[in-house]
Structure 1
Amino acid sequence: MHKKMHKSGKRQWTRKGVASVLAMMFLIIFGSLVAAMAIASTGNIRTAAMHLHVMRAMSAAETGLAVAEGRLLGASRRFVVSQSDIDSAFTWGLWTGNGAAIGDHSVLPPASGYSEVNPPAGLAEALVNHHNSDLNIISGGSFIASALIGSAPAGVDNNEYLATHWVYTPAVAIEAPLSEGSLPPAFQIRYAPLADGQHIRVIVDGFDFDYRRNNEPIRRTVSRDYRLVKRVNHAIISPNKIMIGKNVRVVGDLGARFDDIEFEMGDPLIIRSDFFGLDPVLDQKLTDFFAGVDAYDVDGDNRLRVGHPIESQGIPSNETDYSQNGEADYAFVDVTEDGFVDEFDIFIRHFDADGDKRVTLSAALIAGTPAEAAGATPEFTLDDDLALLLDGGNPDRNRNGVFGYEDVNDNGRYDPGVDILLDFDSRTNTYRDLELGYRDGYIDAMDQYAKVNGRVVFRVNANEWVAERGAYGPKLRGPVRPEDNQSPLIFDAPDAMLPEINVDSFSDTENALMAAASGDAFWTQVAAQLGTDVASLTLWQTANNPGGPNSPHFTAVWPDANLDGIPDNAADAYFEKSPFNSPNYADWYYRPVFRRFRFRNVVIPLGLNALFVDCEFIGSTLVETSIENTHPHWTLFGQMVMNETLGYPVPAFERVTYGPNAGDNPANVIGAPYLPDTARPPQQVLEKAVSPMDKGDVLVPDIINYTNDAYAALPNPLVIGGKRVTDTKKFSNNIRFHDCLIVGSVVGRTPVNYTQVRNKLQFTGATRFSLSHPDFPQSGLHNPDPEDVRELAKSSMMLPNYSVDIGTFNSPPEQDVRLTGAIIAGVLDIRGNASIKGALLLTFKPVHGEGPLVDVAGNPIGNPAGFNASIGYFGPEDGDYESMDPESLPLHNGVRIVGWDLNGDGLADLGPTETPTQAQLNAGAVPVPFHGYGRIELSYDPDMTLPSGLRLPLQVAPRAGSYQEGNR
């Protein structure tokens, strides 16, 4: 018993010992863990605190970078310059204040209103002045007390930085100190000119003083490179009325300077919807929608925000049964899921038959697209041009700067499955823009449609516009989508935002382009390609042209030797209406016709008035005209009307000759000061108007038949170069380019007045502009001289005070006019199929009582609103007196027609409101259908080089990919 108890006691003691050991071990382990956790927690707290301080320093640096970018932009905008070649010499000159390098310029006062002792000479000095106006400066220690210009820090790479004219600024606190004696986070900026001479690197240090290492605050550094740029920031700037029609899309801001709102049709801008007129039911939906827009759209973007407390009230009920099938249509749903309801949503919802939130294009347009591959059923087949405008708009969908296609079949448009897109991702074996909806065969949210993808900027005051012409909302249809944080509509825009453009704005580039037109004389180039001499061209016979389908071909207009006002070969010469194919034409022109010629750096002679077909123009093409076109009858002298009996045009104002006839007495012709001896018989035959148009038409013995006032009311005769002029067509140029390739630029000698009939250029068919030949890009023969390319790149069309038409009044489907760069004209109209990447800069400002708006007695006449830039189709009721609104065209067998073709050339010889006689119908008269609205896309190119001479404030642009954290 004792033994058992002993043994039992021994086992109990043993177990208690193990438990104690284990308890002590766990106590040590847990104690260590607690200590470790405490140490770790302390470390984490310190790490978190350190991270907080680092982030505060980084936030300060980022704030400083934003401030520096704003300061750099503000300082650059103070310099209004004429020069557009923003190269290294100009940039360095502007940075350092070298006036000779800057050229013609002015310096504006600072926008923020801080005081300066003297205006800055250069950009660096402007930055110093602005930074020295800062408050909340941190000074002391290593921080400077004021901004200054100094040398580069020791040790910087001279291959990367310039050694002088760095701008150093004091440190600026970004918030109030938390306690007395503490320092808040701050930033300090350095502006460093780079060695390439074209970029400024902004280097910003951000500081947090609450935590220090080695007695230094925590510092974080960020940097980004910027370059100076000169931009207009608008897709269009026009001093005359702008009209944006159906099937027209604008990417970029619209700038409307027209402000003569007191005149009839005096609205500065008209924008038409792309979706009205497709279907009556859709029209009713859009009518209801825009009623809500007019009542509730608070910002004028023609969209209604779904969650907005005011705008959402304007969204019509989705319960309406528009289709009358007994069910609600849900017509006003945000299909694109962008937070807005606009007419694009309504269009998609209307034609989306299968409810997949997209609309499939016609069978012809989905060929080769993902839609065809998916077996999609066509849903929208009413207007293929509109479909292409929507599905093919915004080609750079991912905004990486790579877009477009290789035009394999050279037809000027992208054909899916045939042409090759350029933005290819070899890693994923996909075409990036196609993946984002470009020409995928569907119209959907990925197409990012807006009628105006930018702002609409007006010089006029909104209240004054409404008071004169009524509400402006109904005149501006279609979604307006500005950049983030920008207003869609801006009124009372100053010149700095909406610059004035006139005929003097481009003189530097205009002169350079005119100087580049230094090739052989026009007729020399023509004769060489025909294999003849210049003298033989005067009475050229078409039978003399070289044989072969690809040979040049010349159809001449002979001189008027017998002074009857028409060419001596009028019965055989080519003639056409001007504007070409217009239902409301202004004149007839006999035109020499040039087919398949190649011209190089050519000057088109005064009064040629030609038609060029399938020709190439290499380099600079200068159109000559008489610049002193100020006579009140400039557009009437030489005017013609059709003689139906003869079958060709004859003078509208009958004239008889005086001087060479028996019994004519030269003394009966008025002399000085009206006509010099060189303009009187016998040195010049008097071509006397039967109904006098000027004093030269009244013989001296007949003056007694006039009262003093009546005779004084007759204008003085027009004398140019010592000779009397009764036909101003010989001293102007009205030219049409059809199916031509222009590798370079077309420039016109600028006339004083805008005379839209006499000085007019039309570009029709598949006319294209390029800087390199599409088929022979490496050939010197087919491309401009290298020394001229820089100037040619600034503008493909430099035609101040000219009337320019792109397309015709019933443009055929095959039309495809393409333009790039700054397009300068007095007034410009675009119809049919056209694409412009650049900007339209128009120069003619119609003033009541000046130029074409004044009569021979000096009295104001006409309506300034009648001079307008028509982008798309409009009619006389809108102010486009040369055209007709397609919606007003009559129907013939259910098809809208523009008139009747009497001679089989496909053009309307009778207008749309005229009816052919039975005899004309028996002879083969046929109706000419309206070919459709076509499609026009106008895209602003921020990277284009503007013509020099236009005074604009400078801007800055960040260099892509240049942002960096840390020191370089």
Structure 2
Amino acid sequence: MVKPSSRLTRLFRLRRWMFTTRRGVVSVVSMMFLILFGSLAAAMAIMSKGNIITAATHQHVVRAQGAAETGLAIAEQRLFEAVGRFVVEKGTVDSGFGRRLWDGTTSGSDGQVSVLPPVSYPSVSSGASGIKEAVGQIHARDTNTVDVGIGVTSVTIAANSAADPDVYANADWVRTPGVALHNEIDPTRPTGTAFQIDYALLKNGTSIRIIATGYDFGYQTRGQPITRRIMQDYQLAKRVNAAVLSPSRIMIGKNVMVEGELGATFTDVDKQHGDPLVMKSDFFGLEAGLDAELTKLFNALSTYDANKDNRLRIGHPIEGANLPDYSNLGYPGTQCDVTEDGYLDEFDVFIMYYDGRNGGARDGRVVLGGALAAGTPANGMTAEFVLSGGAPVDDQLALLIDSSNPDRNKNGVYSFTDANFNGRYDPGEVLHDMEQVTASEVPANLQSYIVTMGGDTYVYRDQVLGFRDGFIDKRDQYAKVRGRLVFRTTESAWIAGQGNYMNRLVGPIAPKPSQSPISFNAATSTLPDLTAASFTNSETALKAAATGDGKTFEEQVAQNLGVSVTQLATWTPAMNSSDPSAAKYNPLLPDADNDGLPDNWQTAHFEKMPFNAPTYTDWYYRPVYENMTFRNVRVPAGNNGLFKNCTFVGVTYVRSESGNSHINWTIYGKLKLGSGGRPVLDPPRYVYTGTSFPSMLASNDRPVLMATTPLDKADIPDNQIPYTQGYNNLPDPLIINGLRCIDTKKLSNNIRFHSCLFVGSIVSDAPQRYTHARNKMQFTGATRFTNKHPQQPGDPLLNPNSGDMPEILKSSMMLPNYSVDIGQFNSPPTQDVQLRGAVIAGVLDIRGNASIDGALLLTFRPQLGEIPLRDAMGNPVGNPSLFNASLGYFGPEDGDDESLDPRTLPVVNGVRIVGWDLDGDGLPDLPPDQTPSAAQIAAGAVTVPFHGYGAISLRFDPNMALPDGIMLPMQIDAKRGTYREASK
């Protein structure tokens, strides 16, 4: 037998050793992995349990946070309701007034403060003296209250000694008990979620802080629930929320743009012309070809416009799938959205139609021409907004759109140097929002926007964004109304009364992203009931500023003429200077011969009322004041003057009798055109020469002028009463200060201001009733409003007192329950009325060129059976729908009986005319549908052309301060940046 070699033996032993020792290593490694996985399993179990606990805790934190958010939302709603109960006269809420409203300690120096009954619960007998009490009354009705451990078991109104005096006012807090968010078996031991609210007035006296604490009693630590606390500050405010707020119908015509909400509280939708709002297209009627293209859009809107904003959404499954085909204009499919805003509307169709006309480039914009392009980046380019012969289509509309929204970059700077003192920006004038640039770095498409001044190059920031650049394009961001349409009526009532209303609401409506275009059945908290009763006759700050600088109206007239008041009494027109710029005065003499007319009626100036209207209400003899300057003047009742080219500095206060509720107020003193071509009394009066005087007249009330057709009981002698049928139906005579009044023109003021300059504001007394034939203001010609004299800004005599400016800036016009006409039918192109702040009237008509930065607040609510919709016998008469607030031109078919629709005017020699001028004064003496005789033409009769629609811009200013004297409910606004989680 052969023995293995030693080498093989060693190898065998080595292998055996290796295999025997490897079994121990495996055991060790196995134990290591066992320990590792066991540890991991334990750790994972621990972490899972922790996560579960953390998740559960977080869930309770979220529940507490949700309870706090719920409390804040409820608190905000209740604070809004409580604050809205306080209707105040004072316009500005300062620290002292805010504190007194909170405490309920207002006094007579704060003006009138009325407290309305609560809305969400039955009125309590004690009422509420202040906001804190009104808030407490709402919370006192909570029933599901629980004990949250703060020691408050019922609503508590008391001082908080722990409040930081650097943050909070030294005033009472309102603290509520906890309110459970679900039913609790034991209110002293809650188990679910709850919230508790504190209300505190801040140190500034005008802000209220809501502190809402949320609780979750389902999880407690050391016997305490999980809590989260949040807070939000709210500013007390008195304001309106709409660009127009009107109880009568609102009519928005062609060439009118509105930025802000339209609020209509008119509800007589069952009457003829009973639409609360009518809107006209700015583009329909420009050309027949454009009308055809717009009709395609209108047809699509009538079927597919789901949200009634008069726009088709490009990506919408219904609206976007039914876009009209505009490939014939070079814009197929969705390219019809030329403005790239996601909608197809009239503005897109307008641009598509004129883009490329006259050989211009098809570049998605319309180039203006002539004077509108001069001095702009479009200067020298081919004009596209022109007719086939090259004449402009509508320069007034083009200027309206190109000049809209002057602060396009929203930085608050949009002023300019008014070199020609016309109150509006003209190309070539300097815009103040500018940026210095290096010309070589400006993109090629903006090179024409560069301006050079002093050797440096600039661009106007707003012009780069499309303001007055000579182009109509997407940067102009056109909308007929940029805001909501808000109605008091319901949609069903409107449809029942008028049928489909959308064909009378024409033009794009662009609300805020979070709002619907149209809102119905609006509550008074959204649309307050603004009426004549909302205005007080107190001596407000504006009225108080009309001191006349120590001079009466007559003294100021005499001063302008350079004579004494005594000499003024015997002034005649022959005494006027022949200098065209000199002050002139044509007086109106009193009625000394008792014929009911001024004694110089045969030579005095007279005119229709309204002035130059196709349909008029009355005639007026007027004194005429020309080229005069008045300062802080009080115009006495019964003036009824015509002011031509006059300047009114400071506050102009127009006086009138406020107690104008007599049924015959608009009839006493009424005139008609007599056979001699001059107005005469209607009906005529005679001096009673008998002895059976009406017994209701004082013995010293002589002579007695009786109407040939009796208007009241004093027109019947006592001995004729038994024989007068219907005597008892006659009203009692109007007695003022113990004497009978037969001419209410002497107690009212119906004034026309022609081409006047107002450096300040105009205010009036507040008549109780709307009597438009008596209390009326007409602003015609090139009348302007400003707060600084355009040519003499540094002259103290031609500018308001600095101390009056804060009040003047609140309102250019405060004429409650007056009928106000800005412009006239066929307003001249030179008209340029500029108003700011709260513009207040009973009913307002604006025609021609006008701009308003603020809001229109109208007071007259026409009601059948109330004056003036009631006859002398007390019977209801007339139609409430015929009283309307109109911006732009309308006609009788729209419910405006005082005007004519320009679209219906006849065309003579290629021009629409408003009538025929027979006497050379530029005003129509014959209506447009009547042809003058051969003799009249031979004598010089000429046509009076229609001067165009003008341009009206209304921009709502949400930050405007209101003047004193308007009774409006208080509001609150959440202050940005004040929401936070914090301790008290």
TM-score by length of 2: 0.80
**Post-superposition offset of 1:278:** 0.6
- For residue 341 of structure 1, the aligned residue among 341, 344, 365 is 344
Separation (CA, whole Å) in 1 of partners of 2:616 and 2:148 = 78
**Contact (CA 8 Å) 1:558, 1:567: kept in 2 or not?**
yes
Q: 1:96 to 1:627 in 2, by over 3 A?
A: closer
Deviation at 1:521, TM superposition (A): 1.6
Q: Secondary structure of 2:877's partner?
A: coil
Note if 1:104 corresponds to 2:113.
yes
Relative distance call for 1:725 and 1:142 in structure 2 (3 A) is closer
Match of 2:87 among 81, 87, 105: 81
Are the equivalent residues in 1 in contact too, given 2:374–2:427 (CA < 8 A)?
yes
Describe how 1:647-658 pairs up with structure 2 within 5 A.
648-653=677-682, 655=684, 657-658=686-687
- What residue is the counterpart of 1:468 in the other structure? 497
What residue is the counterpart of 2:99 in the other structure?
92
Structure 2: distance between partners of 1:63 and 1:382? 62
> Any residues of structure 2 matched to 1:130-529 within 5 Å, and which?
161-162=168-169, 165=172, 193-200=201-208, 226-312=234-320, 314-318=322-326, 321=328, 333-353=336-356, 354-372=361-379, 375=381, 377-379=383-385, 381-422=392-433, 430-507=459-536, 511-519=540-548, 520-529=551-560
Q: Answer whether contact 1:901 1:907 (CA < 8 A) is retained.
A: yes
d(CA) in 1 for partners of 2:545, 2:892: 40
Instruction: Give deviations 1:698-733, integer Å, cap 9, x for gaps.
Output: 5678x49x9542555555554544544443323322
Q: Distance in 1 between matches of 2:935 and 2:520?
A: 58
Q: Specify whether residues 672 and 960 from structure 1 end up closer, same or farther in structure 2 by C-alpha distance, changes over 3 A only.
A: same
Query: What pairs with 1:741-760 in structure 2 (closer than 5 Å)?
Result: 741-760=757-776
Structure 1's 849 and 103: CA in aligned 2 closer, same or farther, altered over 3 A?
A: closer
After TM superposition, the structure 1 stretch with the greater mean CA deviation from structure 2, 572-581 or 648-657, is: 648-657
How far apart are the structure 1 equivalents of 2:459 and 2:209? 36
Q: Kindly indicate whether the alpha-carbon contact (under 8 Å) linking 2:78 and 2:138 is maintained by their aligned counterparts in 1.
A: no
From 528, 531, 536, the counterpart of 2:567? 536
What displacement does 1:505 show?
0.6
Amino acid of the structure 2 residue aligned with 1:928: V
- Cα offset, 1:130, TM superposition: 7.8
Match of 1:21 in 2: none
The equivalent of 2:632 in structure 1 is: 601
- 8 Å Cα contact 1:406/1:422 also seen in 2: no
- The 8 Å contact of residues 745 and 774 in structure 2, kept in 1 or not, is answered as yes
Secondary structure of the 1:370 match is coil
One-letter identity of the residue aligned with 1:288: K
Q: 1:248 to 1:58 in 2, by over 3 A?
A: farther
- Whether 1:671 aligns to 2:680 is no
Change in Cα spacing, 1:497 to 1:860, as seen in structure 2 (3 Å) is: same
Corresponding residue for residue 859 of structure 2: 843
- Give 2:385's aligned amino acid: E
Q: Could you tell me how far apart the structure 2 residues matched to 1:290 and 1:314 are?
A: 12
**Residues in 1 aligned to 2:435 and 2:130: alpha-carbon distance in whole angstroms:** 44
Contact in 2 for aligned 1:73/1:955 (Cα 8 Å) = no
Partner of 1:940: 956
For the residue of structure 2 that corresponds to 1:599, the secondary structure is strand
Tell me the amino acid that sits aligned with residue 746 of structure 1.
I
What is the alpha-carbon root mean square deviation over aligned residues? 4.7
Mapped partners of 1:782, 1:55: distance in 2: 70
Q: What is the CA distance between 1:170 and its match in structure 2?
A: 9.8
Question: CA offset at residue 740 of structure 1?
Answer: 2.1
Of the three residues 595, 599, 620, the one matched with 1:589 is: 620
Could you say which residue in structure 2 is the equivalent of 1:25? Answer: none
Which of 842, 845, 852 is residue 826 of structure 1 equivalent to? 842
1:580 matched to 2:607: no
Deviation digits for residues 635-679 of structure 1, max 9, x if unmatched?
3333334457x5x513053646446xxxxxx33x54233543333
Asked whether the equivalents of residues 114 and 130 of structure 1 are also in contact (C-alpha less than 8 Å), the reply is no
Decide whether aligned partners of structure 1 residues 116 and 775 sit closer, same or farther in structure 2, where only a CA change above 3 A counts: same
Q: How does 1:53-68 map to 2 (within 5 A)?
A: 68=72
- Could you give the per-residue CA deviations for residues 859-913 of structure 1, whole angstroms, max 9, x where no partner exists? 2221111111111111122221111110111110111100111122211111111
CA gap 1:160/1:496 in 2 versus in 1, 3 angstroms: closer
Deviation at 1:966, TM superposition (A): 9.1
Q: CA 1:191–1:860 in 2, change beyond 3 Å: closer, same or farther?
A: closer
Distance 1:99 1:339, change over 3 A: same
Asked if structure 1 preserves the Cα contact closer than 8 Å seen for 2:695 and 2:718, the reply is no
SS for the counterpart of 2:700 is helix
Which amino acid in the other structure matches residue 383 of structure 1?
Answer: D
Tell me the alpha carbon deviations over residues 920-962 of structure 1, each in whole angstroms, 9 at most, x when there is no partner: 1112111111001111112222222234454444323355677
Query: Do the aligned residues in 2 keep the contact of 1:57 with 1:206 (CA within 8 Å)?
Result: no
Q: Report Cα offsets for 1:425-457 as digits up to 9, x if no partner.
A: 899954332232222222222222221211112
2:535 and 2:766 in contact (8 A); partners too: no
Q: Structure 1 residues 556 and 57, CA, compared in 2 at 3 Å: closer, same or farther?
A: farther
Point out where structure 1 has 5 or more consecutive residues left out of the alignment.
Answer: 1-37, 176-182, 660-665
Q: What are the ranges of 5 or more consecutive residues in structure 2 without an aligned counterpart?
A: 1-39, 45-49, 183-190, 387-391, 443-457
> Residue 692 and residue 424 in structure 1: after superposition, are their counterparts in 2 closer, same or farther (change >3 A)?
farther
In structure 2, what is the equivalent of residue 611 of structure 1? Answer: 642
Q: 1:87 to 1:295 in 2, by over 3 A?
A: same
Greater Cα shift, 929-938 or 579-588: 579-588
Cα distance in structure 2, aligned partners of 1:814 and 1:488:
35
One-letter identity of the residue aligned with 1:678: N
Question: 1: CA distance between counterparts of 2:682 and 2:154?
Answer: 77
Summarize the Cα distance change of 1:61–1:246 in structure 2 as closer, same or farther, 3 Å threshold. Answer: farther
Structure 1 residues 320-369: Cα deviation after superposition (integer angstroms, max 9, x where no partner): x4x7xxx8876982222222222122112222223322222233223232
Q: Distance in 1 between matches of 2:178 and 2:736?
A: 69
Distance change in 2, residues 1:948/1:289 (3 Å): same
Q: Which moved more, 1:878-887 or 1:85-94?
A: 85-94
Compared CA separation, residues 110 and 826, structure 1 to 2 (3 A): closer
Query: Whole-Å Cα distance in 1 between the matches of residues 816 and 157 of structure 2?
Result: 43
CA displacement, residues 203-250 of structure 1 (integer Å, 9 cap, x when unaligned):
8999999xx9xxx99999997754211122111122212211111112
Q: Which amino acid aligns with 2:378?
A: A
Q: Please give the secondary structure, in 1, of the residue aligned with 2:525.
A: coil
Does the Cα contact within 8 Å between 2:918 and 2:942 map onto a contact in 1? yes
CA distances 1:36-83 after superposition (whole Å, capped 9, x unpaired): xx9xxx9xxx9xx99xx9999999989978974774464034233214
- Kept in 1, the 8 Å contact 2:256–2:888? The answer is yes
Question: How many pairs align?
Answer: 901
Matches within 5 A, 1:880-895: 880-895=896-911
Paired residue type of 1:892: V
- Measured after TM superposition, the shift of residue 516 of structure 1 is 3.9
What secondary structure, in the 3-state scheme, does the structure 1 residue paired with 2:567 have? Answer: helix
* Corresponding residue number in structure 1 for 2:887: 871
